[in-house]
Amino acid sequence: MPDDAPMIGHNAPALPPEVARRRTFAIISHPDAGKTTLTEKLLLYGGAIQMAGQVRAKGEARRTRSDFMKMEKERGISVSASAMSFEYDGRWFNLVDTPGHEDFSEDTYRTLTAVDAAVMVIDGAKGVESQTRKLFEVCRLRELPILTFCNKMDRESRETFEIIDEIQEALALDVTPASWPIGMGRDFLGCYDLLNNRIELMDRADRNTRAQSIKIAGLDDPKAAEVIPPAQLSRLREEVEMARELLPPFDRQSFLEGTLTPIWFGSAINSFGVQELMQGVANHAPPPQFRGAASRDVAASEDKVTGFVFKVQANMDPKHRDRVAFVRLCSGHFLRGMKLKHVRSGKPMAIASPVMFLASDREITEDAWAGDIIGIPNHGQLRIGDALTEGEDLRFTGIPAFAPELLQNVRAADPMKAKHLEKALTQLAEEGAAKLFKPMLGSGWIVGVVGALQFDVIASRIKEEYGLPVRLEPTQFNGARWISGPKEKVEAFIGANRGHMAEDHDGDPVYMTRLQWDLDRVVRDHPDVKLTAVKETL
């Protein structure tokens, strides 16, 4: 039972068994470290797909559906996130995909609000790379427990201690070995499983088979000498002894607080180390955790259904113009057809055809539990940050929108299509693909993004999905701040700065900056008005 106990400090009542067996996690990594390959193998063991390789094949088939997806493919980036569910060894796993490109950090941030743990994949030859570091920082902000998988051990990689040191230093994170590699590159035999005292041998002939597993009574057990050549065995003994002396033992509390990570070594392409990692997620990653709302914390053990939208994906099928809102269920047992309150509008919503992404394709789901991710097709009512409840006016916190760092004017190539453009931009903004600002003076729109590549994505999507060629042009502004404060002070602020004012797609006032000096001046002149670079989505 301790494995399924909620985090200490939140003495929630025991979780229903269906919730307790759930593990909702994301994989973070630098492009090329092996996230796709690992995902395939997880699904393969999860019985969700028959043969590895199908995730990719399936992905290709999907991508042909729209030109936007084609662009995604050409650039080798994954713009859209999805969630997949599978069962393994009595546990129910929800794997939430994180967008892989660094330009999509805001999307990634929100994805990480929907999970309870993360698997960090690193390439054994490359160590901690830039994107891993950035994603890790987000996990740290959220105090997410992290399990590490050091991949590609079948290739020449760094010394084991060197890899561990680098993680400890680069990420200020304690590392405890869950397994220890026996040799590397061409001499890589497999791993010694320190937690279960087993030797796992990799099968190079068949990439999809389970590793041979030999239970031993320590490394002096003669059974170890039967399968490991003497030189490698003596080195393994030395290294493991040193590791036990120098590295901290596994401590569940430090792991749950996100300050210590267990590391597994393996080779995703050879299916090696993958099951041990899955077992690690099953045994150590926490079950669904409480979620913070403005009025109170919502515990996963509560009976009433609650959830929040962390992602909206529009035009998954261009023919239908549908949108799918991805909802993380925070509590309760959801049943298809349930009427939930859409808190932002105050209106009831019958959730008639919720989908769960069962590894290979989306399917209508009859029920779901706290911790699960369900997709709700809708026509735009559901936005990022929206709460669904059985009646309570909850507002989940911690789902931020960041001020964009890059801004451009956007115009329709055909001026008669301005209304059409407004609709397309509003939809993209609601989906979270960009920030949209309408200047209070003059006409036109300004789009804001966090990474430059997003401009191309937006222009391409407006063209492909809405049939509207657009031009993006430089703007005089280089930053945006949301403003808040007492009503009359905000009105006075707006009156005095009209040339700088805009509204975002929710109609909230935003101050657009040209120079740092602008900001310094308005902060000095309007001490009662708060300017912020982050807005928490309602």
Positions that interact with ligand GDP (CB under 6 A) = 29, 31-37, 151-152, 154-155, 267-270
Residue 183 marked ligand-binding: no
3-state class of 71 per DSSP?
A: helix
Nearer to ligand GDP, 132 or 389 (CB): 132
500 is known to lie in a ligand binding site: no
The count of other CB atoms within 10 Å of the CB of residue 133 is: 13
Shortest Å, Cβ 182 to ligand GDP: 15
Q: At closest approach, how far in Å is the CB of 132 from ligand GDP?
A: 10
Question: In this complex, which beta carbon is closest to ligand GDP, that of residue 151 or of residue 279?
Answer: 151
Phi, psi of 120 (to 5 degrees): -100, 120
Residue 196's nearest CA partner among 287, 271, 264 is: 264
Q: Is 29 annotated as a binding residue?
A: yes
Helices (H) and strands (E) counted in the chain, each on its own, are: 15, 33
Sequence-ordered list of residues with C-beta below 8 angstroms from that of 116, at least 6 positions apart, any chain: 23, 24, 25, 144, 145, 285, 286, 287, 288, 289, 371
Residue with smaller CB distance to ligand GDP, 34 or 307 = 34
Is 530 labelled a binding residue? no
Could you tell me which of 287, 282, 327 has the C-alpha nearest to residue 83? 327
- For the beta carbon of residue 48, count every other beta carbon within 10 angstroms: 21
CA angle 224, 225, 227 (to 5 degrees): 75
Give the HSE-up count for residue 357: Cα atoms under 13 Å, Cβ half-sphere.
21
Q: Is 113 annotated as a binding residue?
A: no
Contact 109, 400 (CB under 8 A): yes
34 annotated to bind ligand: yes
- Rounded to the nearest whole angstrom, what is the least distance from the CB of residue 207 to ligand GDP in the complex? 9
| Residue 97 labelled as part of a binding site | yes
CA distances from 446 to 22, 476, 478, 505 (A): 42, 10, 11, 11
Residue 454 CA to residue 433 CA, distance in Å, equals 8
> Which one, of 279, 120, 287, lies nearest residue 191 by Cα?
279
Instruction: State yes or no: 36 annotated in a binding site.
Output: yes
Considering the complex, state which of residue 138 and residue 268 has its C-beta at the smaller distance from ligand GDP.
Answer: 268
Looking at beta carbons only, is 101 or 342 nearer to ligand GDP? Answer: 101
**Which of 35, 323 has the CB closer to ligand GDP?**
35
Of the two residues 32 and 221, which places its CB atom closer to ligand GDP in the complex? 32
Q: Based on C-alpha coordinates, what's the Rg of the chain?
A: 25
In terms of CB distance, is 269 or 538 closer to ligand GDP? 269
Closest approach, Cβ 31 to ligand GDP, in A, equals: 5
Q: At its nearest, how many Å lie between ligand GDP and the CB of residue 490?
A: 46
Q: Is 464 exposed, middle or buried (0-12, 13-18, 19+ CB in 10 A)?
A: middle
DSSP 138-168: HHHHTT--EEEEEE-TTS----HHHHHHHHH
What count of other Cβ atoms lies within 10 Å of the Cβ of residue 416? Answer: 7
CB contact at 8 A, 431 and 457: no
Report the residue number, 31 or 444, with the smaller CB distance to ligand GDP: 31
The CA-to-CA distance between both ends of the chain, in Å, stands at: 36
| Annotated binding-site residue? 268 | no
The Cβ of residue 532 has, within 10 Å, a number of other Cβ atoms equal to 12
Q: Is-contact 307 387, C-beta < 8 A? A: yes
CB of 271 to ligand GDP, least distance (A): 9
- CB nearer ligand GDP, residue 278 or residue 374: 278
Do the annotations mark residue 31 as ligand-binding?
yes
Could you list the residues known to form a binding site for GTP, using ranges. Answer: 29-36, 97-101, 151-154
